């Protein structure tokens, strides 16, 4: 069973944002299922759907690590379980 998580990354565009996030995910057994990213007037926006079923880290650890990584590279990174994300964005 997939354990899907939505990861959002927002901030000023700089070189290496995708590489740093994806490297962290790969090193921790997180599988990227889908990814979209755009840059609008110098601002970077990325949304990823990932499967954490085989992750070596708990969901809480991933959330904290990604937030810290975002601070290091100057972007805001948020991770939410898919079910919670769906409920929050329900019309």
> What are the extents of the domains in the chain?
4-88
pLDDT (0 to 100) of residue 16: 96
Two tokens at 47?
Answer: 């949304």
Whole-prediction pTM:
0.87
Residue 91 CB contacts under 8 Å (≥ 6 apart), including other chains: none
Two tokens at 28?
Answer: 């921790």
Average pLDDT over residues 3-20: 97
- With a cut of 70, say whether residue 2 has pLDDT above it: no
pLDDT (0 to 100) of residue 91: 58
Q: CA–CA separation, 70 vs 76, rounded Å?
A: 5
Q: For 65-80, give the DSSP string.
A: HHHHHHHHHTEEEEEE
25-65 pLDDT, tens digit per residue, is 999 999 999 999 999 999 999 999 999 999 999 999 999 99
Angle between helices 17-27 and 59-73 (to 10 degrees): 150
Local confidence band at 87 (pLDDT 50, 70, 90 cut-offs)? low
Length of the chain: 91
Average pLDDT over residues 73-86: 85
> Check: CATH 3.30.950.10 for 4-88?
no
């Amino acid at each position: 069973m997939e354990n899907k998580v939505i990861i959002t990354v927002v901030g000023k565009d700089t070189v290496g944002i995708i590489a740093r996030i994806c490297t962290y995910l790969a090193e921790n057994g997180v599988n990227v299922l889908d990814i979209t990213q755009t840059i609008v007037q110098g601002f970077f926006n990325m949304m990823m759907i990932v499967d954490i079923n085989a992750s070596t880290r708990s969901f809480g650890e991933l959330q904290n690590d990604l937030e810290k990584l975002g601070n290091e590279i100057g972007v805001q990174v948020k991770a939410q379980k898919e079910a919670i994300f769906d409920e929050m964005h329900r019309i």
